Structure 1
Amino acid sequence: MTGEFTISLFMVSDWGVGTGRGASGYVNQIIQREEESSRAPAPPVVPAKSLVGVWRDSCELAAHALDSGPVGVWHDWVRFLFGGQYAPVNGIPGPVGRTSAPAALTLDGPLRLPGRLAEALRERPRVALATTFRKPGVAVDPHTGGAEEGMLRFEELARGGVTLEGRARIDGFAGLDRTQREAAVALLDAGARLLERLGGKRRRGAGRCRMTLDGPGVSPEWTPPPLDGVPSPPDGPDHAVADRPEPAGTAGTGWERVELLITVEQPVLVAATVLGNVVRGADHIPGWCLMPEVARRLGGGAHALVRTGDLVVTAAFPVPSPGVRTLPVPRVLVHKKDADGTVAGNQMAGDGPPRSKPYRTGYLVPEGPEKYTVVNPASTVRMHNTIQDDLQRPTREVGGVYVYRALAAGTVLRAEVRVRTGALGDGWARRLTGGWRIGRSAKDDYGKVRVTATPVGVPSAGGHGGRSLSVWLLSGLLVRDRRLRPSTDPRDVARALEQAFAKAGAPGVRLSAAADGRGVTVALGEQRTESWHRGWNLPRPTLYGLAQGSCLTFTVDGGPLTPEVLAEVRAAGVGERRAEGFGQVEFDHDVLLAPVAAQSTSPAALAQAEPAEPAGPIGPLAPDEKGHREARIFERAAWRAEIHRSCERIRADRTLRARVVPSGVSSTQLNALRRIVRELPSGRAESGLLWLTREKAGRPPWPKEAVTTLRELLTGPDAVWTLLNLPEDQLVVTRDGVKSLRAELRHEAVRTLVDSCLAAHGRDEATSTDTGSER
């Protein structure tokens, strides 16, 4: 059994999960949406992180009832499914009970509108705008009971009556026995049935919902499992690696290379740096983050190749398009202060201007001979919070409000997997293609990527003909000094390079200070890598070394350094943990050696890949198609908004308004017309119009043309739509939308049009009367 479930969330009332920010001049609080499209506003979603939070609360409530208290086997199942929680102990945050455990329940991203509805909305911006609305609110003064001055605000809400769908799975579900599966499914189903509200303002009427599951073991009617003998959840293994791992296979001397083209489908948060309550991810995906998934997909033999250094996974750097290789900007390139969009010089070539600053972030994109552009990838900023159970609000003790800054969805990155020739057999690259989940918080809204693996040839590389060697670090470098301490000393880097050259076939090479007297170091940076071991649920040791982009120069004695030796060191790396992408280097690159003429660069973000969209236009939704009912809700709102806009246009035009409200008719008769249009649904409007427009002594007669126009407007099925002239094709995403909404909204359209024109007519009459009396 796969343990995959389909989640359906029916929103009974208007709802919205806020982003924690607003749009200036539009709304104070905006809601979460799908990734933005260039053609229309993205539809609203329910983030998986928000759903998991309220779902866990419901499951804890069910577990408390089943265990008859705050502890028991059902609470163990909550911890198994949703993971361990952290709570303060004597004011210091720490795990509750045992070491924090990973969650077995994983959601495949946020809950979205069903079927093809989201894609169809991108074709119709007017309908997409109607998926949400703005709700005004004020702050009430507790002393006066009135609204406080200057406290008017607008919040964005999504329309109720829609169903959102998503998928979830229980990792390791196939390894559970029958009774364990029944217990896990029963708890999740009970929590889903107890979930009643979700999102912002849910204690004030918004966010009412009904959640249902569909999957293995889920029945229409929930029945509690036998309370006696409920099995405990399984405990995770103490170690992720087997006691006797498979040995490494026979490998040749060369390298097989596979390019990994990684398309980010959900924001990716890796190599995070915590600054207060801001968790800032790296602008690339390190090799150590990709390595576990690569080794898992390639099989047991890959773990042995990692240990022997015969399998290398490089870091994934953002690229503007497939086939283009980007490199981290070297720190020898400098820019003027407050002008990082212009490369001002190259310190290694001796043309760096005074009062300049080296680049510390960014990537070089080749644009021609000796011409590069410095760019940065786009990022996504999302706000989250942790709710304290007893107070039901975010507090500092449990984490409070925090912000994630991650690689934005749509970013395309490139990495390489290098394996010794013949070590894995033929066709191993095909196992790397597919959907991956990597990085932090990958169980909900983050970390989903699509990977395409393609074999590539060995790049051509020249040899080394001089006595000066320029080294450019393409990744972090980990070396140790003679006392085995982590080091950033260039002398220790030289010793690590000498060992790498000796292993590659040049044992006589010795590196020392540069001959020009500038010293060994040209531009260095330091970095610390912090990470977490999921299998052991413990932090890994801090990795301290030189940062990517650092550049050094050495004087070479002995040799020679042949092209084969340099190519081997480029592929295998230098220093420690080379299999995880550390120690990637480049030698004597043109960027390091050539002077840089001042040229304009682009400090903007790399272009993002557009969401996958069909090549042709999206066809309308059929009446029996999934998402049709939700589409009709949005279409109805879009038609009503457009009806009001058209009525505003008609009331402002005296000629058009005269076709609805004739001049020369008394205000009493016009007020009677307002009552008649409200009798349209009962079918008495035509008889009421005959009674109103009949000739009667003592009052002016109705114009015959006006009577004819009003009769067609009140009784004809198309007269009001002809007068309103709506862009109907742009207001529907369903096949039967125009016909159905014309019939459904005709009475409402007539009433709105007549009321609008009567109001404008009365205002004009009052204005003309006041002006005449003043004269």
Structure 2
Amino acid sequence: MTGEFTISLFMVSDWGVGTGRGASGYVDRLVQREEQSSALAPAPPVVPAKTLVGVWRDSCELAAYALDSGFVGVWHAWVRYLFGGQYALASRTPEAANRTSSPAALTLDGPLRLPGRLSEVLRERPHVALATTFRKPGVAVDPRTGGAEEGMLRFEEMARNGVTLEGRARIDGFDKLDEAQREAAVALLDAGARLLERIGGKRRRGPGRCRMTLDGPGVSPEWTPPPPDGVPPPPGGPRHEVADRPEPAGTAGPGWERVELLVTVEQPVLVAATVLGNVVRGADHLPGWCLMPEVARRLGGGAHALVRTGDLVVTAAFPVSPSGAGTLPVPRVLVHEKNADGTVIGNQMAEGGPSRGKPYREGYLVPEGPERYTVVTPAGTVRMHNTIQDDLQRPTREVGGVYVYRALATGTVLRAEVRVRTGTLDDGWARRLAGRWRIGRSAKDDYGKIQVTATPVSAPAGVPPAGGRGDGELRMWLLSGLLVRDRRLRPSMDPRDVARALERAFAKAGAPGVRLEPVTGTEERPTSTTTGRGVTSALGEQRTDSWHRGWNLPRPTLYGLAQGSCLTFTVKDGALTPEVLAEVRAAGVGERRAEGFGQVEFDHHVLLCPVDASPSVSPVPAGPAGPVEPLAPDEKGHREARVFERATWRAEIHRACERIRADPASRARVVPARVSGTQLNALRRIVRGLPSGRAESELLWLTRDKAGRPSWPKEAVTALRRLLTDPDTVWELLELPQDRLVVTRDGIESLRAELRHEAVRVLTDSCLAAHVRDEATSTGTGSER
């Protein structure tokens, strides 16, 4: 039995989950939206999974307090099992402070979104997409005077009510629970969902009222708790276990089987995070150590044995260029102009390399042609979050406070490779790698979902033998971090220790007699070494910190050379054949090669050739996609679409009325001239009474000839009668772009019928107000401001 649930959140009132920032000159507080949007239409608002998990946990804690009659009990244990551990404050018990954090069994499949195809259709209709939110003004009240403070007017963006947002959640390990444990888990989640009444910002002041419902295994229309005496505790122990003795793998043959992984980011991915104050900055690629656990889990028990022996290698996933070509970490011997790091201007390792320019420290190399390259950096997304302290109900430093995540953006495409020794796994093992993965930090809610496709590929062509220039030198380019140790087993960046690691790798690959000597300058440990021929090495350091999910503890820090570093060695003894170099390129160098460390290139043409510094040609962007079909009346999301369509039409009606009232000729088609103000006020009363069924008779009574007053113009009476009785007249006057104001098939017909009387009232009132103002101005009885 799968533990997957469908979440429905109906918004009773206007709502909004803030981003923590505003737009200068537009609004002071923006709402969270979907990642993907078009160039013209804003993305629709969403409820982030982090926000929902926070308020859902509070509701479940409230239910657990009532069921346990206190703060301790089996239901509180279920809250911890489902939602994971929390920060332990010093004011709590010592046992809680020393307890390690536990992972959450409840995982949400991203934020709650509008149902069906509605988000996709809105991207093609900017007018309707703009109506998904509105701006609400507010002020700060002076506590002394009770009035508005000077200069404290603000505008906040709010999403419209009356819509239902949907999402999916699952309980990891649900099939391993017994029947009683499943009932307890579902009962607690259902109780918390029924108690959840508000969500988002300003929810204690009116916005954010909602109704949450679950649909899934064990959820019933009426909530019934399990028997008080029969509630079992949640399972204990870690949920990420690996056998001490993995299954043995098959006999390894010569060569490697290779599978290319094409990774598409569906939610922002945060991996290899670097913490700078309250900013958590993720890597701009997916390291191999982040992908390797999921690869081993999908391949089965034998894969764990291959990882330990180095017969399974998972390389890092680097971004794909806009043209679809693969990229590699930019070597640090390439340079660029200051403040213009997109185009490579020179190669300091090549003969006659430039003496000016700034070396690259990050980015990925894209070949644009012979001796011409461009460096690109994948897009990132920045999101602000906070952790609420329960007793104070606001973010505090003790529980994490306000923090910012910078992660790989949605839509990023990356490419990695899985290499396995020939014959060690059964045929068809590549198919098990395809599918949807969740990786990285905070993968239980808004981050970490990727789509992976696996394709077997052949080995690349052999590389030229060492000493491609005929000078007996070997030039190495690091495609990932390199971990080596010195003679005292300390992490090292010394090129001499790298040379010893290379010699061991060559010996294992079939060249035991190779002896290497690093080409360095006079300094003992330089970061950039030059000779008469140019730069021979350019080094950078890299520190890797990660988390062990099985132990719920941080892993040891890994310190070594950074990807993109370049070194040059002199081959003193032995011969390096293309087969030996290809084997080392596939297997890697140094420690932890199975996790993608130690990936290298030898005598690559990027290092050997000069660079053409002429401007490159930008790729031609892809054409727009085909039109999206509007929503059918029986399709999911139709009711929510009508809410946005109605708001769009009302805004366009008011905009058209403003245009008509400003033009006296257009206004005369609605409000006749030479009619007294008393008569016009009576016309306003008739229009405001629509639809009463007596509008035509009341208009005839009003416009009848009567002694002592001017007669109504006959053409004006005819026009007003058509405006009040004919269903098409008001729309002819307003001239709305109706095709651009709907996202449903029946939107035009339904909204014309629904909003016709409202449109007549707004048009008449607007024209009457402008007519009275002009009359007062022309006769001198009014004043202008």
- The answer for the alignment partner of 1:588 in structure 2 is 603
- The answer for the alignment partner of 2:648 in structure 1 is 638
- The answer for the alignment partner of 1:683 in structure 2 is 693
Distance 1:208 1:88, change over 3 A: same
Q: Is the 8 A contact 2:480 2:599 kept in 1?
A: yes
Matched, 1:697 2:712: no
1:412-434 CA distance string (max 9 Å, x none): 00000011112112211111111
1:98-136 CA distance string (max 9 Å, x none): 211000000001111111211221221111111111100
Question: Structure 1 regions of 5+ residues with no counterpart?
Answer: none
1:627 to 609, 625, 637: 637
Matched, 1:181 2:182: yes
Distance 1:204 1:50, change over 3 A: same
Matched letter for residue 511 of structure 2 = A
Q: Is the 8 A contact 2:349 2:536 kept in 1?
A: no
Q: Is the 8 A contact 1:267 1:445 kept in 2?
A: yes
Q: Is the 8 A contact 1:262 1:451 kept in 2?
A: yes
1:308-350 CA distance string (max 9 Å, x none): 1111000000112585221101111122333323434322225
Deviation at 1:671, TM superposition (A): 1.4
Secondary structure of the equivalent of 1:89?
coil
Deviation at 1:286, TM superposition (A): 0.1
Q: Is the 8 A contact 1:6 1:165 kept in 2?
A: yes
- The answer for the alignment partner of 1:477 in structure 2 is 482
Matched letter for residue 465 of structure 2 = G
Distance 1:237 1:505, change over 3 A: same
Matched, 1:493 2:493: no
1:598 to 606, 613, 628: 613
- The answer for the alignment partner of 1:7 in structure 2 is 7
Deviation at 1:91, TM superposition (A): 11
Question: Equivalences for 1:490-639 in 2 at 5 Å?
Answer: 490-514=495-519, 518=530, 522-600=537-615, 616-639=626-649
Q: Could you tell me how far apart the structure 2 residues matched to 1:771 and 1:682 are?
A: 35
Secondary structure of the equivalent of 2:81?
helix
- The answer for the alignment partner of 1:730 in structure 2 is 740
Q: Is the 8 A contact 1:13 1:206 kept in 2?
A: yes
Q: Is the 8 A contact 2:372 2:612 kept in 1?
A: no
Secondary structure of the equivalent of 1:374?
strand
- The answer for the alignment partner of 1:247 in structure 2 is 248
Deviation at 1:600, TM superposition (A): 4.1
Q: Could you tell me how far apart the structure 1 residues matched to 2:207 and 2:771 are?
A: 39
Distance 1:502 1:323, change over 3 A: farther
Q: TM-score of the superposition, structure 2-length normalised?
A: 0.95
Deviation at 1:586, TM superposition (A): 0.6
Matched, 1:709 2:719: yes
Deviation at 1:596, TM superposition (A): 2.7
Distance 1:94 1:430, change over 3 A: farther
Q: Is the 8 A contact 2:776 2:782 kept in 1?
A: no
Distance 1:773 1:471, change over 3 A: closer
Distance 1:696 1:356, change over 3 A: same
Distance 1:341 1:626, change over 3 A: closer
- The answer for the alignment partner of 2:658 in structure 1 is 648
Q: Could you tell me how far apart the structure 1 residues matched to 2:99 and 2:622 are?
A: 43
- The answer for the alignment partner of 1:151 in structure 2 is 152
Matched letter for residue 14 of structure 2 = D
- The answer for the alignment partner of 1:661 in structure 2 is 671
Q: Is the 8 A contact 1:85 1:96 kept in 2?
A: no
Q: Is the 8 A contact 1:378 1:608 kept in 2?
A: no
Stretch moving more, 537-546 or 688-697: 688-697
Deviation at 1:662, TM superposition (A): 1.2
Deviation at 1:522, TM superposition (A): 1.5
Q: Is the 8 A contact 2:435 2:451 kept in 1?
A: yes
Q: Could you tell me how far apart the structure 1 residues matched to 2:521 and 2:273 are?
A: 40
Deviation at 1:407, TM superposition (A): 0.2
Count of residue pairs the alignment pairs up: 769
Secondary structure of the equivalent of 1:472?
strand
Q: Is the 8 A contact 2:11 2:162 kept in 1?
A: yes
Matched, 1:380 2:381: yes
Matched letter for residue 545 of structure 2 = E
Question: Equivalences for 1:347-426 in 2 at 5 Å?
Answer: 347-349=348-350, 351=352, 353-354=354-355, 356-426=357-427
Q: Could you tell me how far apart the structure 2 residues matched to 1:555 and 1:516 are?
A: 13
Deviation at 1:496, TM superposition (A): 0.3
- The answer for the alignment partner of 1:217 in structure 2 is 218
Distance 1:94 1:637, change over 3 A: farther
Secondary structure of the equivalent of 1:10?
strand
Q: Could you tell me how far apart the structure 2 residues matched to 1:242 and 1:675 are?
A: 82
- The answer for the alignment partner of 1:35 in structure 2 is 35
Q: Is the 8 A contact 1:341 1:601 kept in 2?
A: no
Deviation at 1:155, TM superposition (A): 0.6
1:652-679 CA distance string (max 9 Å, x none): 1211110001111111211111111011
Matched letter for residue 9 of structure 1 = L
- The answer for the alignment partner of 2:60 in structure 1 is 59
Q: Could you tell me how far apart the structure 2 residues matched to 1:94 and 1:139 are?
A: 44
Q: Could you tell me how far apart the structure 2 residues matched to 1:127 and 1:716 are?
A: 27
1:520-576 CA distance string (max 9 Å, x none): 962100111000000110110100100001111111122211110110010000000
Q: Could you tell me how far apart the structure 1 residues matched to 2:224 and 2:592 are?
A: 53
Question: Structure 2 regions of 5+ residues with no counterpart?
Answer: 523-529
Q: Could you tell me how far apart the structure 1 residues matched to 2:118 and 2:268 are?
A: 23
- The answer for the alignment partner of 2:455 in structure 1 is 454
Secondary structure of the equivalent of 1:734?
coil
Q: Is the 8 A contact 2:12 2:209 kept in 1?
A: yes
1:259-306 CA distance string (max 9 Å, x none): 111000000000000000000000000000000000111111111111
Deviation at 1:595, TM superposition (A): 2.4
1:678-701 CA distance string (max 9 Å, x none): 112111211221121111122111
Deviation at 1:452, TM superposition (A): 0.8
Q: Could you tell me how far apart the structure 1 residues matched to 2:615 and 2:573 are?
A: 41
Matched, 1:754 2:755: no
- The answer for the alignment partner of 1:740 in structure 2 is 750
Q: Is the 8 A contact 2:368 2:616 kept in 1?
A: no
- The alignment-based identity, stated in percent, is 83
Q: Could you tell me how far apart the structure 1 residues matched to 2:518 and 2:744 are?
A: 73
Deviation at 1:631, TM superposition (A): 1.1
Secondary structure of the equivalent of 2:15?
coil
Q: Could you tell me how far apart the structure 1 residues matched to 2:52 and 2:351 are?
A: 57
Matched, 1:199 2:204: no
Q: Could you tell me how far apart the structure 2 residues matched to 1:526 and 1:414 are?
A: 24
Q: Is the 8 A contact 2:321 2:376 kept in 1?
A: no
Matched letter for residue 306 of structure 1 = V
- The answer for the alignment partner of 2:235 in structure 1 is 234
CA-based RMSD of the aligned residues comes to 2.3
Deviation at 1:383, TM superposition (A): 0.3
Secondary structure of the equivalent of 1:144?
coil
Q: Could you tell me how far apart the structure 2 residues matched to 1:738 and 1:624 are?
A: 16
Distance 1:457 1:277, change over 3 A: same
Q: Is the 8 A contact 1:86 1:94 kept in 2?
A: no
Q: Could you tell me how far apart the structure 2 residues matched to 1:773 and 1:136 are?
A: 29
Q: Is the 8 A contact 1:189 1:222 kept in 2?
A: yes
Secondary structure of the equivalent of 1:592?
helix
Q: Could you tell me how far apart the structure 2 residues matched to 1:322 and 1:439 are?
A: 27
